[in-house]
């Protein structure tokens, strides 16, 4: 039995890791381990560790790292605590392969600990670009510490190879979130809105706005502009907010959101919608904000996405994505357009919903994972002599 250890830091990566974990769990030659960290362990973010028990996944180890602040110093100290915590967890669990997803600072801490512990890493969603956040640099750092690369699209595969990674270990398996879309049992409209305790209005908008760590304007200013646009929008539009991540200024955004909710009866916020999130996408009329979900999942539901600012700049996009600058008048105009768009025939560029099965097939094909540890730099081409 090969021990495959999956690290999850919050609601966003959990939804992308859920079906790969399920496939590992049912594989007769693999044992699923999990390390839970970050927002999963915080009451402020919904204590979403409960989702693991609900869905029947083991909790092998917990690494508590979040500090009470959201300054750059607090996040950096959390990163350091993460390296220490993951060192202990990996020593205890002794996995044969560590599975990491994405680009958060918690995941960077896990990659660093695995590198020193000589544990091979399988990395999901490498090679993407997000120019408006320091997640871009974190993602590329993890790529260089990883040994198997499961990317979501062909452009990402090319970028990973440009970083000197062995093309034989770069696999374009698509986006794992589409696996969940194919396999989820959805609530009907009335049951969904009853479950989230919200009375739907004429139109309904699903919103997620995360901190913008490299934006020209601060996260707070961009969110202020966004909320001004929502204030100006018709009060016949229901506003369903999911709260921001635990990044720099994340708590400040939550304070601004709470102040907005106090004066707008057509709006409600949720720490985490969990397994109701996909039902939300099925029953709202559009998505807005700066979350990757608007690019990955929303196109599969035939709804438009208003992608605000540069946080997701560089990602592959479906034709249903409307990009706009982070200014209130532009956001308002774009949201009104999105709510009336008909995009039911759009093609999602992130695969066919069979990514998790492909991941397991690749892992199974690798005989001795430890043989991956010594990496060579593969040149994609020779530079010109100047």
Confidence of residue 384 (pLDDT cuts 50, 70, 90): very low
Per DSSP, the three-state class of 47 is coil
Dist CA 209 CA 242 (whole Å): 8
The reply to whether 187-339 shares the fold of 2-176+353-372 is yes
CB 375 within 8 A of CB 166: yes
CB 330 within 8 A of CB 307: no
Least confident of 4-13, 63-72, 120-129, 361-370: 63-72
- Encode pLDDT of 249-292 as tens digits: 788 999 999 999 999 999 999 988 888 999 999 999 999 999 99
Quote the pLDDT of residue 248. 72
- Overall average pLDDT of the 125-133 stretch: 82
Chain CA centroid to CA 362, Å? 22
Per-residue tokens: 90: 């990996």
- 271/230: higher pLDDT: 230
**Which DSSP category does 198 fall into?**
-
Quote the pLDDT of residue 132. 66
pTM for the full model? 0.82
- Encode pLDDT of 180-229 as tens digits: 898 889 999 999 999 999 999 999 999 999 988 666 778 899 999 999 99
Least confident of 31-45, 112-126, 368-382: 368-382
Topology of domain 2-176+353-372 in CATH is: Rossmann fold (3.40.50)
Quote the pLDDT of residue 311. 87
- 250/324: higher pLDDT: 324
Written as one string, the DSSP assignment of 291-340 is: -THHHHTGGGGT-EEEEETTTTTTS---TTEEEE-S-HHHHHHHHHHHHT
Please tell me the total number of residues recorded for the chain in this structure.
Answer: 386
Per-residue pLDDT at 386 exceeds 70: no
Topology of domain 187-339 in CATH is: Rossmann fold (3.40.50)
What does the mean pLDDT of the chain come to? 92
Confidence of residue 385 (pLDDT cuts 50, 70, 90): very low
Quote the pLDDT of residue 368. 87
- C-alpha torsion sign, points 181, 187, 192, 196: negative
Confidence of residue 381 (pLDDT cuts 50, 70, 90): low
Quote the pLDDT of residue 223. 95
Confidence of residue 383 (pLDDT cuts 50, 70, 90): very low
Quote the pLDDT of residue 66. 83
- Encode pLDDT of 38-86 as tens digits: 989 988 777 889 999 999 999 999 999 888 777 889 889 999 999 999 9
Domain boundaries, the chain: 2-176+353-372, 187-339
Least confident of 127-141, 271-285, 302-316: 127-141
Quote the pLDDT of residue 330. 98
CB 371 within 8 A of CB 342: no
């Amino acid at each position: 039995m090969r021990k495959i250890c999956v690290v999850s830091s919050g609601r966003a990566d959990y939804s992308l890791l859920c079906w790969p974990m399920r496939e590992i769990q049912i594989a007769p030659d693999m044992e699923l381990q999990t390390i839970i960290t970050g927002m999963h362990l915080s009451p402020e973010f919904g204590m979403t560790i409960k989702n693991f028990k609900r869905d029947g996944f083991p909790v092998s180890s917990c690494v508590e790292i979040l500090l009470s602040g959201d300054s750059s110093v607090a996040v950096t100290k959390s990163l350091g605590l993460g390296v220490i915590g993951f060192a202990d967890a990996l020593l205890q669990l002794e996995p044969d392969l560590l599975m990491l997803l994405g680009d958060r600072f918690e995941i960077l801490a896990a990659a660093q600990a695995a590198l020193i512990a000589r544990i091979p890493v399988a990395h999901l969603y490498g090679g993407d670009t997000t120019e408006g956040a320091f997640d871009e640099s974190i993602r590329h750092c993890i790529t260089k510490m990883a040994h198997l690369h499961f990317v979501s699209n062909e452009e990402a595969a090319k970028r990973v190879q440009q970083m000197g990674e062995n093309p034989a270990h770069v696999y374009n398996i698509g986006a794992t979130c589409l696996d969940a879309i194919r396999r989820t049992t959805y609530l009907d409209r009335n049951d969904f809105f009853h479950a989230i305790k919200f009375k739907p209005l004429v139109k309904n908008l699903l919103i997620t706005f995360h901190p913008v760590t490299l934006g020209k304007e601060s996260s707070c200013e961009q969110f202020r502009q966004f909320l001004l646009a929502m204030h100006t929008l018709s009060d016949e539009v229901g506003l369903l907010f999911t709260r921001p991540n635990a990044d720099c200024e994340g708590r400040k955004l939550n304070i601004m959101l709470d102040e907005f909710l106090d004066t707008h009866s057509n709006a409600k916020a949720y720490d985490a919608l969990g397994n109701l999130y996909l039902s939300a996408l099925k029953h709202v009329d559009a998505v807005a904000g700066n979350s990757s979900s608007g690019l990955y999942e929303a196109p599969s539901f035939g709804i438009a996405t208003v992608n605000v600012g540069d946080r997701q700049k560089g990602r592959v996009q479906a034709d249903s994505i409307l990009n706009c600058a982070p200014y209130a008048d532009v956001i308002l105009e774009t949201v009104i357009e999105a709510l009336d768009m008909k995009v039911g025939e759009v093609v999602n560029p992130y695969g066919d919903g069979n990514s998790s099965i492909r991941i397991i097939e690749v892992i199974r094909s690798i005989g001795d994972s430890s043989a991956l540890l010594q990496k060579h730099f593969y040149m994609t081409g020779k530079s010109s002599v100047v």
